[in-house]
Chains A and B, each alone.
Chain A
């Protein structure tokens, strides 16, 4: 059913239950979340290593800020990012409003503290005597850093997956900065699994909403299963 104004422009487009609609939503969701998590990891991991390895004034404060960032309300992040990318904002010249890239930016802000915080905890939990052993065997500072990353690898992987979990299941900020837009041919521009579920449910298309919900659930469950599996693999010291 398509309601049309007298000019012929569609007011509300009723997408039928079609796979290309579903597929495009999954693609946008994965694209936005994966790119955001990759960028967050690239920025957060060095920060976590730097904080974990060095002693400096304000280290506790910085750690607290990162931990606070893990609980940022996503709608507030969305609002701030929308302001930043709007015409009057500092990133206004990039013309990012209602684009997947703006969504990536907001998910980056949400995922980065999670990845930094969990990685920092993992790096900090590597025992000093293991680092000392690497140094005593003739390792340089770089070698000791690599040993620490290797020892913390399960924790770091957990951090990345937790960041992905936060990004893919997030709804508030992507709705604000992305606008939940789909083309008239039924393919997504900035519509993600979460924002699509919200829309479909509001419009009473529960079948589609339920299917999208199930797909999102499978994705999140798969990520959590990997996290649990990694957690089980990464423990234990001598019998």
Chain B
């Protein structure tokens, strides 16, 4: 299940964000997208998550151009992708109801209404997938708590569990730990590693070089509207082929 952007051109309000950007995420690998703030890492992830169609180029899922198929089929592709944003963006509900959201929207309306009624009389229980996902981020014991009672770090871990609960093929992470303390960051990085080990392809946008080194198998460097370099993490960090990569890693490129 490979998600691939090929020769993507995209602009916002006539301002070019990308020119001919290509990137792929394969099962069981972690790809870090590094680059300075504002370079378009989030935009690239949103294109991969099928929020918007690229102005030119294609987004393919296992060789199928997902913007060349109908809405219904594209929804099925979209539902094989999970995403975590920089902010936790949890719903105003309990932890378990947040974590199970992805599973709920995949159910029939009859089952969803039945579930809503059951939850009204307090007969709701997290399914095994939801409990497992919360367990993966160490929050199974907080399932019944209100999401608003969580700390920022815990909330972000719930957001990760929410994306993991429906077992996506691909996980897209948009600077998921930029606001977190080291402990919460470590928990999430371990969860990312576990997801990869289960065969999930992960793309993580980060401006933290050390994090990219810790979690990624491959690194793509996004600079000046294009991916200037992509390769195995060690190679990119130790023997970059593009001078700008070295300058960026050394902190010499100012934007």
Contacts and interface: CB of A to CB of B under 8 A. Distances in A.
B88 A137 contact: no
A132 B51 CA distance: 9
A185 B85 CA distance: 68
Interface of A: 127, 129-130, 132-140, 143, 147, 150-151, 234, 236-239
B195 interface: no
B105 interface: yes
Nearest to A233: B92
30 contacts: A129-B85, A129-B87, A130-B90, A130-B91, A132-B51, A132-B85, A132-B89, A133-B90, A133-B91, A135-B51, A136-B81, A136-B82, A136-B83, A136-B163, A137-B162, A137-B163, A137-B166, A138-B75, A138-B102, A150-B91, A234-B92, A237-B90, A237-B148, A238-B88, A238-B90, A238-B148, A238-B150, A238-B152, A239-B150, A239-B152
B179 to A, nearest CB: 11
A239 B151 contact: yes
A151 B92 contact: yes
A140 B105 contact: yes
A151 B75 CA distance: 23
A139 B92 contact: no
Interface residues of B, number: 32
Nearest to B93: A150
Contacts of A143: 105
A238 B162 contact: no
A45 B21 CA distance: 43
Interface string B104-118: 011000000000000
Contact of A238 (B78, B101, B155, B166): B155
B49 interface: yes
Contacts of A140: 75, 105
Contact of A133 (B78, B85, B148): B85
Given A236-B148, A237-B148, A238-B155, A137 B85 contact: no
Given A238-B148, A238-B151, A239-B149, A133 B89 contact: yes
B159 interface: yes
B184 to A, nearest CB: 12
Contact of A150 (B49, B92, B152, B154): B92
Given A129-B85, A132-B51, A137 B92 contact: no
B205 to A, nearest CB: 14
A147 B91 contact: yes
Contacts of A234: 92
